Structure formats: C-alpha cells, structure tokens
Amino acid sequence: MKGMGGGGMQALMRQANQMQARMKKMQEELAVKEFESTSGGGAVKIVMLGDYKVKSVEIQDDVLKAGDKDMLQDLMVTAMNEAIRVVKTTSDAEMAKITGGFSVPGM
C-alpha cells in the first residue's frame, strides 16, 4: 500500500483547482454578458446581465398608451421570467462544458 495515492491525490487536487479557476472565470465573464428577452411581440424588452441583474427595461409607447395596467404587468413578468431562463440555460451550458456535465455543489 505504500506510495499509493500520494501523487494521484496531488494531481486530482491540481485538476480540481484548475476547474475551480475556470468556473470562476466563466462566472465573471457571464456576469457582464447581456441577455435580451421580449414579450408581447417586442412590446416589452428586458436586458439582463449574466449575474441576474436587470440592465434595462424598454416598453413600447403603444403599450403605455393602451393604459392596460394588468396587460403591462403580465408582459413584464413574462419578459423577466424569459430573461432569467435564458441566463440560467446559458450558465448551465457553460458550466457543463467545464465540469463535463458533473454537478458541482455551490457553483
């Protein structure tokens, strides 16, 4: 048993550290990337950053002129949820490229 695992463990730790560094870099890159979603055929547009912060909201004038508060609220919710879905899907896909599809807790 002597000599087993020592070098292998170091190599494994080095690989884990490299993977962690790649994941951190990917998260930093995604945090500043913009993701756009719309609802109502473009009546509402949301631009969200990869860290789930909303950068901008655009509402077409005709939607405001219609004065339908409930419709506007629904359009906002739909566009926001779609933006969140796009960010999560993209983030998950990028993470899978790094981890080889393995789930990494806390990342």
**pTM, to two decimals:** 0.76
Percent of the chain with pLDDT over 70: 88
CATH 3.90.870.20 fits 6-99, yes or no: no
Average confidence score pLDDT of the chain: 88
The pLDDT tens digits of the residues spanning 33-50 come to 999 999 999 999 999 999
The sheet with strand 54-59 has its strands ordered as: 34-39, 44-49, 54-59
The domain limits of the chain are: 6-99
Within a 10 A sphere around the Cβ of 35, how many other Cβ atoms? 22
| CA gap 90, 3 in Å, rounded | 43
**92 Cβ neighbours under 8 A, 6+ residues apart:** none
